[in-house]
């Protein structure tokens, strides 16, 4: 093991090149033609991305040591679990705009590609701020506690995509076509460039992820401040989210207490950051606590469904 060695530019280049290769194969080969992603296919891809994420965790353990591997796994679990709430919001967006099923994968592909770039910038800025002003971790801690409390009492029923300021701005400055034009985001009509409704959906998916990232990025800083670990765990969580959407989009109603579990996770990480000097919590214990919270929320949700099914 060479855990004491610094992360070199070759670590970054190698990781980014491999991810670009995977994405190119995804869109250019496996999803070259638009089609509805069925449950079985989505479950297969979810498994593939999970195996790749765990394999990379194994590489971290071999190359960097057990502690960094635990940081990576904890960060991955936190980012993936917090992204689950994003799945429900994306389902509402697709439903509101009546996006055909065979176009949804393309929107998620480009949306997630944009999300990766945005998160990369946010992580870079976050690491720079923490390096210069270590006290900002306490600010992150407060933000997470407040966000966790707000999440526990928030509702997605009031979601109004048409009121999104970015969408309203796009409608103000660009003409929008009346209907979809296949998988195209831009078309030319009467010599003038128009946005299609699919572009509005893409904009909403991007802005939604940005909002969720404001919670999830500070959360992983509660586990580690190492840029490479933060970025790689984010990347694998986001890449797995796309296929996970097609697995869970129609079943989010079964996980009614998941939002409560996610809010508790945010509060736990926030408190951990605030008490780091007084009561430090190891990465291994953090991973265990987060796992127990999420599994408990899922189990309680499933148990709550059973009596309702018996009465139907």
Q: Count how many domains the chain has.
A: 1
In sequence order, the β-bridge partners of residue 192 are: 189
Indicate if the alpha-carbon torsion angle 297, 299, 301, 303 is positive or negative: negative
Q: Is 276 contained in some domain?
A: yes
266 within 8 A of 142, measured Cβ to Cβ: no
Chain CA centroid to CA 126, Å = 17
Query: Range of 243's domain?
Result: 9-311
d(CA 207, CA 167): 10
142 within 8 A of 272, measured Cβ to Cβ: no
| pLDDT reported for residue 155 | 64
Q: Is 2 contained in some domain?
A: no
Q: Is 278 contained in some domain?
A: yes
pTM for this model (two decimals): 0.81
| pLDDT reported for residue 54 | 94
| pLDDT reported for residue 143 | 86
Q: Is 150 contained in some domain?
A: yes
222 within 8 A of 273, measured Cβ to Cβ: yes
Q: Is 159 contained in some domain?
A: yes
Decide: helix, strand or coil at residue 159.
coil
Extended beta strands in 36-154, E state? none
| pLDDT reported for residue 308 | 55
CA geometry: angle 41, 306, 295, nearest 5 deg: 65
Residues of the chain with pLDDT under 70: 1-5, 27-36, 155-164, 249-253, 306-312
d(CA 225, CA 249): 32
Q: Is 13 contained in some domain?
A: yes
CA-based diameter of the chain, in Å? Answer: 67
d(CA 80, CA 86): 10
All residues at 6 or more sequence positions from 287 whose CB lies less than 8 Å from its CB, including other chains? 70, 73, 74, 77
| pLDDT reported for residue 70 | 93
Cα-based distances in Å from 190 to 127, 171, 174, 177, 187: 48, 18, 14, 12, 10
d(CA 217, CA 123): 7
Q: Is 1 contained in some domain?
A: no
d(CA 202, CA 114): 10
Phi, psi dihedrals of residue 189, rounded to the nearest 5°: -125, 125
- The two structure tokens encoding residue 209: 């992820």
Q: Is 241 contained in some domain?
A: yes
């Amino acid at each position: 093991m060479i855990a004491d060695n610094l992360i070199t530019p070759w670590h970054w280049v190698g990781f980014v090149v491999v991810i670009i290769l995977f994405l190119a194969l995804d869109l250019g080969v496996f999803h070259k033609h638009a089609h509805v992603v069925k449950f079985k296919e989505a479950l297969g891809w979810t498994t593939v991305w999970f195996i790749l994420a765990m394999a990379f965790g194994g590489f971290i353990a071999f190359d960097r040591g057990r502690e960094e591997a635990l940081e990576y796994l904890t960060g991955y679990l936190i980012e993936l679990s917090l992204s689950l709430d994003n799945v429900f919001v994306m389902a509402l967006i697709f439903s509101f705009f009546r996006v055909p099923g065979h176009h949804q994968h393309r929107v998620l592909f480009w949306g997630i590609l944009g999300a990766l770039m945005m998160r990369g910038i946010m992580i870079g800025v976050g690491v720079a701020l923490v390096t210069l002003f270590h006290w900002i971790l306490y600010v992150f801690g407060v933000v997470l506690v407040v966000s966790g409390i707000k999440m526990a009492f928030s509702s997605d029923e009031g979601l109004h995509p048409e009121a999104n300021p970015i969408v309203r701005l796009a409608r103000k400055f660009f003409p929008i076509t009346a209907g979809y034009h296949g998988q195209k985001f831009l078309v030319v009509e009467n010599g003038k460039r128009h946005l299609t409704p699919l572009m509005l959906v893409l904009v909403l998916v991007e802005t939604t992820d940005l909002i969720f990232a404001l919670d999830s990025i500070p959360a992983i800083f509660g586990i580690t401040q190492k840029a490479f670990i933060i970025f790689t765990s984010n990347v694998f969580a986001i890449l797995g989210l796309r296929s996970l959407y097609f697995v869970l989009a129609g079943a989010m109603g079964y996980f009614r207490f998941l939002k409560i579990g996610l809010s508790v996770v945010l509060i736990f990480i926030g408190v951990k950051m605030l008490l780091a000097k007084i009561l430090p919590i190891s990465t291994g214990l953090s991973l265990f606590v987060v796992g127990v919270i999420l599994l408990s929320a899922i189990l309680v949700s499933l148990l709550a469904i059973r009596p309702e099914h018996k009465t139907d």
